[in-house]
Amino acid sequence: MSRRSACVLLFPVVFHYNVLTGVMVVTLRVRREQLERIIAQARAEAPNECCGMLAGHGEVVEEVFPGRNKDQSPRTYLMDPQDQLHAFRAIDEHGWALVGIYHSHPHTEAYPSRTDRERALDMDGNPLFPETQYVIVSLRDAQPQVRAFRITERQVTEEEVVIA
């Protein structure tokens, strides 16, 4: 087993307390191997941000679709349209939904930046993907952090991440 995998395996099951409801609810289920792929991609593309899409049913991630970051930037991401198309086609073929959109923060915490929040909304301020979670992988600390959010015009709501 590589050192990288061993590090990832130290991940605990992560719950985030929902301050609005006071209830801990499972809202994103991602398998450890899927998470390892995302973290490996984030590390490979650092110092730039990496990005991709998570397909599945409801809260369950069935497949990870890595994408190229057209921005090639350490601060923003824009998933290559061809990679998006490829993912959306596979999602249609399998009858999946777009469960999540992920990207990395090589140097900052796993929280949506101002650009992340702006790009999650259309010109009228409505969420582009209302049912989709925004998953952020932070490489700031020795142990990567993974957090999930819903982004609307008025607020950023943290979702719970469970590693199955």
Q: What residues line the site for Zn ion (CB under 5 A)? A: 113, 116
User: Judged by CB, which is closer to Zn ion: 83, or 96?
Assistant: 83
List, in order, residues 6 or more apart from 92 with CB less than 8 Å away. none
Nearer to Zn ion, 99 or 110 (CB): 110
- Least CB distance from residue 105 to Zn ion, whole Å? 5
Burial-class residue 54 by CB neighbours within 10 Å (0-12, 13-18, 19+).
Answer: buried
Least separation, in Å, of the C-beta of 101 and Zn ion?
A: 10
Q: Of the two residues 96 and 161, which places its CB atom closer to Zn ion in the complex? A: 161
Question: Which residue is closest to Zn ion by CB?
Answer: 116
Q: Is the peptide bond before 47 cis (omega within 30 degrees of 0)?
A: yes
CB 133 within 8 A of CB 27: yes
Taking the complex as a whole, the smallest distance from the CB of residue 59 to Zn ion amounts, in Å, to 22
